Amino acid sequence: MMGRVATRMRFSAFPCFLATLLVVILTQAAFAQSPTIVRVEEDWELTVETPDPATDAPQIACVISPWSHVYCLYAVFELNHQSLPDYQAGGLQLQLWYGEHPLGSCNYPNEGLLSQPGETIRWTQSMRLEDGKLWFEVINGTSTTWGNFGGQGYLKTSLLTAMTDLNGYDPAVSAENSGVSYADNRVPLLVLKKVRVYTSTGEEIVDETVRVVHSQD
């Protein structure tokens, strides 16, 4: 009797084994066909309604990470303040972090304070793998306060890495961990407007999902 029961159990488990094997094969095939992402660009836009230079308001911080979390390596772009190594009002600063530990920072030479009502600031946060390094950089910035910023090398930092792709990147992580850190009542809108990823074969993939990070509406 026990032998017959055991035989039935082994037989009924066989379709489950086949299903599991099929899932493994399909998963491996999907990974084999996935593009290898080597560069990411995020287009951001910030609208400031009533800045107050007397109180260094508002202050904004935007995050970008090669992972689907911020427990490891990521970068932070600060606007209208610089918090490393000590707080300083105004200006722009790109920071490199590992979890809760700062690894370094670089500053833009124009340390102006937001003071123009109704100002709109646009910039691109980029991340790329090149020559065994992971690079973070702010490019294509435009503003009244700081003029055209980014792309000159001031807001650019890197570190050695064994990473071979940026496939762990998730724009939701950028949106969820960015925001107006001080005086959000002075900011009508902070939005991640568009994301572009580039593969090792030169393909460009565009995500035009508009991610509203902060809004007064």
3-class state of residue 162 by DSSP: coil
pLDDT score recorded for residue 34:
79
Domains contained in the chain, number: 2
Contact 141, 78 (CB under 8 A): no
Q: Do 52 and 76 reside in the same domain of the chain? A: yes
**Full residue range of the structural domain in which residue 15 is found:** 1-33
pLDDT score recorded for residue 33:
62
pLDDT score recorded for residue 140:
98
- The phi-psi region of residue 131 (left if phi > 0; otherwise alpha if psi is between -120 and 50; otherwise beta) is left
Q: Do 90 and 125 reside in the same domain of the chain? A: yes
Q: Do 29 and 52 reside in the same domain of the chain? A: no
Q: Do 112 and 53 reside in the same domain of the chain? A: yes
**Parallel, antiparallel or unpaired: strands 179-182 and 73-82:** unpaired
Q: Which DSSP category does 53 fall into?
A: G
Contact 98, 117 (CB under 8 A): no
pLDDT score recorded for residue 20:
45
Distance of alpha carbon 54 from alpha carbon 91, whole angstroms:
14
Q: Do 208 and 117 reside in the same domain of the chain? A: yes
* pLDDT < 70 stretches in the chain: 1-33
